[in-house]
Amino acid sequence: MFSNSLSSRFLWLVVIFVLLAEVLIFVPAVTRFREDYLLARLERAQIASLALLASDGSIAGELAGELLENAGVFNVVLRRDAVRELILSSPIPAPIDATYDLRGANAFTLMRDALDEMRRSEPRIIRVIGDPVRQGGLLIEITLDTSTLQAEIWDYGKNILLLTLGLSAFVALLLYISIRAFVVAPMQRVIRSMSDYAENPQDANRIITPKSTIQELRAAEEALNKMQTDLTGLLRQKDRLAQLGGSVARISHDLRNMLTTASMLADRMEMSKDPSVQRAAPKLVNSISRAINLCESTLTFGKAEEPPPKLAPLRVAALVEDVVDNEKLALADGADVTFLTDVPPKLSLRADGEQIFRVLSNLVRNARQAIEATKQPGVIEILAKLSEQDGKPGVAIRIGDTGPGLPAKAREHLFEAFQGGARKGGVGLGLAIAAELVRGHGGHLELIRSDSDGTEFRIWLPAAN
């Protein structure tokens, strides 16, 4: 609707400002006209009175009447040498209605008197007092009829009104056209660009090119250009990640089948009479089972269908010991990594043991691999204790290491899938899954610190009821 558009509202503002300008121009103009009219009558009356004085009173009768008629007044009183004298006079048709003293009258008084004169519909008799010109006396006073004044002031007011209205309308039109050309049109161009871009955000040809010469609009176009460019890049990245996710899902599917076969072979190894094989076989079976579960979880993550946790009482100490045992077996040859744990034996949770194992295993494995990459001795600490969060009882588990710390890029998108792993070569899925699993338990996973002295994560989970 035009009435709700920027152009229409600006037009209304222009109309309002034009009317305000009319008032500011019209009132002083008619005020000045009335003052000049009365001053002209005073000057004419003074000339007529001086002509009479110069004739030593020989002018009388019809000639005196002509002087008064020419001056447009009925009486002329002139004060000279402290003497007030009626110089010219004629019959006054009505009583004097008002007296106006122009000597030292302020602007407000003059405007008030002018507007008062315009609003009157009937002529009247007024007395006007002023200063004589060219030192022709101390004071001059005239009496006149306002009928001519009222007619002329209205004619003058109409002319001024028409002239100022015409000029104001012309200026308003120029302003309106200018605003349409320099503000509204560029804004409409931005709106069209946004609508066009929304139809196909991945088409780089639809990204707006900043062209405006107006500083503010140029800044808006540049901001929109940056936003559209970034969004197009993100959408392309999203497509690539979607394709990568599909590939990971297919790889996980095939890997799961391979691990299933390996699990069957590991079951057979348990029947071996070799003591070392008998000790390693259960660990191998557990690792292969967890690997199969991880593949299935990866497939589920790709479908955004991570199953809800199966809550059951869980001893934290036993879970941590199991995680540490697996990581000790996974240590590379020559690696010097010390595992320190401080978990109360009776500390328990109501949680899904398999999912929490995946979370802890992911964090501890990342820490181990970070230390191994330095080829220096290192320590991994796992601490657990009761801890309240927002008034709710729970368990806080801290996993810290003395590794080299996380890269800055990894810290920016630490818990976002496929946005960069916590270690070199990682795809960034492990921590994203871990954070999601912890959230599924009503807790949260956070990075406490990561610097040259090492990295520390904190898991908070609600305590068992």
pLDDT tens per residue, the chain (465 residues)? 455 666 677 777 777 877 787 778 888 888 898 888 888 888 888 887 777 666 665 555 666 677 777 778 888 887 766 667 777 778 888 888 888 888 888 888 888 888 888 888 888 988 888 887 765 567 888 888 888 888 888 888 888 888 877 877 787 788 778 777 777 777 788 888 888 888 877 666 778 888 877 777 788 888 888 888 888 777 777 766 666 666 666 666 566 666 666 666 566 666 666 676 666 666 666 666 666 666 665 555 555 445 678 888 999 999 999 999 988 888 888 888 899 999 999 999 888 889 899 999 989 998 998 898 888 999 999 999 998 888 888 999 999 999 888 877 777 767 776 555 555 444 456 788 888 888 888 889 999 988 888 899 999 998 865
Question: For residue 144, which phi and psi values (nearest 5 degrees)?
Answer: -150, 165
User: How far, in Å, CA of 159 to CA of 162, rounded?
Assistant: 5
Residue 280: the pLDDT is 64
Strand partners, 130: 140
Residue 356: the pLDDT is 92
pTM (whole model) above 0.75? no
Sign for the pseudo-dihedral over CA of 354, 356, 362, 365: negative
Residue 27: the pLDDT is 85
CA-wise closest residue to 21 among 194, 136, 171: 171
CB 275 within 8 A of CB 293: no
User: How far, in Å, CA of 292 to CA of 297, rounded?
Assistant: 9
Taking CA atoms, 98 is separated from 34, 126, 129, 310, in Å, by: 15, 5, 11, 102
CB 338 within 8 A of CB 364: no
Residue 385: the pLDDT is 92
Which are the contacts of 227, defined by CB distance < 8 A and separation ≥ 6? none
Residue 427: the pLDDT is 46
Residue 425: the pLDDT is 42
